[in-house]
């Protein structure tokens, strides 16, 4: 077989000419490899020998920018640090000004409603499994256009199935690593089953988490229950939802909140089920494994929590980071 050797000029020419439909969502990318940012989606690349690519050796987090302000950025950055430390991943020099880089890159992206994906990788170095082959870790930040879920998810509710994909072991479940193969397979499973979401079970047959979502169950005893964080990722959104639910205790809507074990059987009997995540806020589940949940329509707990979350994202000055939308570009 004859192969054509591609030079730098032809490589760049080919890249920039291959615009894909999804590129419209890619607003900006910063890379510590380049010490700068790009706005052309075709240039948003990671070296093939970065351990992030061929081993999933890296950690990440996702931050929401809503109405031009970053929501819960400090909580997401703190979790990113914990994940990196858990897998002995060092911080590149640029990490010391991570917040500034995020803020500036979002402004450069030009959209006041977007998602910020921050990745720390072991870095390029070799194609082996040995992490010590990588001289230094790297930082990649992508700003992506935010798309709210279609209205039907919030108006009629989502469907959920129990996943057959084995749940991650405790250590890996609690680290937000870039090794997301089980999560990908869960999402595939849901799509093939014509379901909106899937939820994994732990070895004891208790609810764990979705592919990228935490789950909450409004039980028959009046408590809003969430799976504990021993076998699930400590979601930033679910933590905030649990805090906001205190007002539902005060007004008598619920008796309280609990982080505890939940069986599918208990979930089938729930008056409401909700799922939560950075990009979806709170979504009601009205069908689980083909069974109608509650009345089959979004319930009062979802409605109140959704309103509280929306208000929190707009008005909670303690959790919002203002951005300078007149600021200039990134410096090296």
Spatial separation of the C-alpha atoms in residues 44 and 84, rounded to whole Å: 23
Name residues whose C-beta falls within 8 Å of residue 298's C-beta, 6 or more positions apart in sequence: 154, 155, 156, 157, 272, 284, 286
CA torsion through residues 148, 150, 154, 157, sign = negative
Spatial separation of the C-alpha atoms in residues 277 and 287, rounded to whole Å: 19
Annotated active-site residue 176? The verdict is yes
283 bridge partner residues: 275
Q: In this structure, are strands 223-226 and 256-259 parallel, antiparallel, or unpaired?
A: parallel
Spatial separation of the C-alpha atoms in residues 217 and 275, rounded to whole Å: 9
Name the residue with tokens 């410096």.
Answer: 331
Name residues whose C-beta falls within 8 Å of residue 104's C-beta, 6 or more positions apart in sequence: 327, 329, 330
| Six token digits for residue 127 | 């194609």
Spatial separation of the C-alpha atoms in residues 305 and 298, rounded to whole Å: 12
Catalytic residue chosen out of the listed positions 108, 176, 225, 287: 176
3-state secondary structure 91-152: CCHHHHHHHHHHHHHHHHHCCCCEEEEEEEECCECCCCCCHHHCCCCEEEEEEEECCCCCHH
Give the active site residues: 176
């Amino acid at each position: 077989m004859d192969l054509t050797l591609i030079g730098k000029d032809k490589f760049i020419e080919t890249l920039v000419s291959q615009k894909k439909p999804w590129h419209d969502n890619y607003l900006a990318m910063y890379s510590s490899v380049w010490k700068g940012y790009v706005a052309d989606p075709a240039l948003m690349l990671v070296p093939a020998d970065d351990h992030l690519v061929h081993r999933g050796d890296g950690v990440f987090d996702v931050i929401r920018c809503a109405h031009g302000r970053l929501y819960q950025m400090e909580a997401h950055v703190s979790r990113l640090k914990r994940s990196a430390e858990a897998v002995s991943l060092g911080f590149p020099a640029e990490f010391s000004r991570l917040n500034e880089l995020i803020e500036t890159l979002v402004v450069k992206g030009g959209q006041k409603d977007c998602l910020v994906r921050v990745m720390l990788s072991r870095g390029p170095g070799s194609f082996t499994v040995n992490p010590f082959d990588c001289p230094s870790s790297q930082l990649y930040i992508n700003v992506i256009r935010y798309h709210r879920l279609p209205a039907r998810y919030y108006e009629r509710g989502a469907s959920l199935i129990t996943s057959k994909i084995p749940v991650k072991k405790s250590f890996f479940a609690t680290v937000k690593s870039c090794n997301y193969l089980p999560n990908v397979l869960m999402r595939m499973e849901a799509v093939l089953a014509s379901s909106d979401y899937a939820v994994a079970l732990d070895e004891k047959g208790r609810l764990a988490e979705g592919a990228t979502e935490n789950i909450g169950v409004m039980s028959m005893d009046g408590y809003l229950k969430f799976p504990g964080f021993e076998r699930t990722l400590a979601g930033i959104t679910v933590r905030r939802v649990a805090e906001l639910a205190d007002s539902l205790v005060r007004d008598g809507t619920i008796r309280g909140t609990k982080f505890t074990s939940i069986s599918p059987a208990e979930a089938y009997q729930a008056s409401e089920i909700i799922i939560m995540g950075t990009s979806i806020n709170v979504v009601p589940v009205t069908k689980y494994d083909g069974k109608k949940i509650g009345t089959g329509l979004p319930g009062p707990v979802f409605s109140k929590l959704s309103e509280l979350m929306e208000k929190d994202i707009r008005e909670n000055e303690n959790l919002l980071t203002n951005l300078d939308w007149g600021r200039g570009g990134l410096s090296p």
